[in-house]
Amino acid sequence: MIVRAYLNYWLRRYGESFQAGGQTYRGIFFPPPAGLLRWLFTQSELDALPRPLWAAAVAPSVNLPQNTTVLWRGANYRVARSVEFRLNDATVYRLLLLEPLA
């Protein structure tokens, strides 16, 4: 699938390494847009989340469930949400929403 091949290329070229469960993965990290946050959380859930929040686009093979601890750029984050994006029946990529751990 061409879309998945492009994403894998972008992950190899522009992605940053992060660790979870003793494994190293690559992801493209970005501040999540407000519309995405409103889609994933109620307003009260959103108000309770610590900041800064980060989103990471990862390969479809990266399956990190909610509450998994992630180490990125020397800081620990928790997977608040993991969303799978599909095209027809194939998973194209996963989006992880990360919140900082105190």
Domain ranges within the chain, ordered by starting residue: 2-100
Architecture of domain 2-100: Beta Barrel (2.40)
Give the pLDDT mean for 35-57. 96
CB 87 within 8 A of CB 38: no
Q: pLDDT averaged over the chain? A: 95
Query: Is residue 56 pLDDT above 80, yes or no?
Result: yes
Interatomic CA distance for residues 48 and 23, integer angstroms: 30
Higher pLDDT, 99 or 2: 99
Among residues 13, 16, 32, the alpha carbon closest in space to that of 74 is found at 16
* Model pTM score: 0.91
Token readout for 28 is 């493209």
Average pLDDT over residues 17-43: 97
- Half-sphere exposure in the Cβ direction for 98 (13 Å, CA): 29
